[in-house]
Amino acid sequence: MEDFFPLWRKGHNGPWLAHRLDRDTSGCLVVALRKTALLAAQNMFARGAVEKTYWAVVRGDPKEDRGQIDLPLGKVTTGKRWKMVVDRTAPPAVTAWEVKGRGDGLAWIEFRPKTGRTHQIRAHARLLDLPILGDEVYGRGGSGQLCLLARRIFLPLEPAVVAEAPVPGHMAVGLRECGYGEE
């Protein structure tokens, strides 16, 4: 999508991405049309003022119904591949999580990252021994599409900005197995 931004740009106006999602993550993105809006949004992300809600379908049965993982993540490169691992010298990475539903060997988890590190939710899910379906880096050899959705984003502006993404088709089956649509 970002490749097309220069075609849509008029003069010094946007669009510009205010933040990023992992390559295979579906869902909400904040796109600014004016530089002032871009800088304001980036400032909110940097301060941790933006509320982000992600949904994932994971393999496994969580032992608890909710929790918080607070483990700093640093990048490790092996050959041409890289991933994020616990690194006590790295910047903080904090993710709150809650089980929204359970299915046969699967769980639907809502993640609320408090920080914004690369691959944070995927790495933290794996550290909980709950790899996200379709995650070829942190999963258990899984293939297919990543079942991670940036479901909702809230920017505390006046008036507030709220965006909510629909569930993509590739996640719907797993979510239904875990009770989605029954609430």
Q: pLDDT tens digits for the chain (183 residues)?
A: 556 555 566 666 778 888 888 888 999 999 888 888 899 999 999 899 999 999 999 999 999 999 999 999 999 999 999 999 999 999 999 999 999 999 999 999 999 999 999 999 999 999 999 999 999 999 875 668 999 999 999 999 888 889 999 999 999 999 999 999 854
**SS3 annotation, the chain:** CHHHHHHHCCCCCCCEECCCCCCCCEECCCEECCHHHHHHHHHHHHHCCCEEEEEEEEECCCCCCEEEEECCEEEEEECCEEEEEECCCCCCCEEEEEEEEECCCEEEEEEEECCCCCCHHHHHHHHCCCCECCCCCCCCCCCCCCCEEEEEEEECCCCCEEEECCCCHHHHHHHHHCCCCCC
Which H or E run contains 173?
helix 169-177
pLDDT of residue 17: 87
Its pTM stands at 0.90
pLDDT of residue 19: 87
Is 22 tagged catalytic?
yes
Please, what are the domains in the chain? 49-177 (3.30.2350.10)
Two tokens, residue 163: 């965006």
User: Which of the residues 22, 24, 61, 87 is marked catalytic?
Assistant: 22
d(CA 11, CA 8): 10
d(CA 134, CA 148): 9
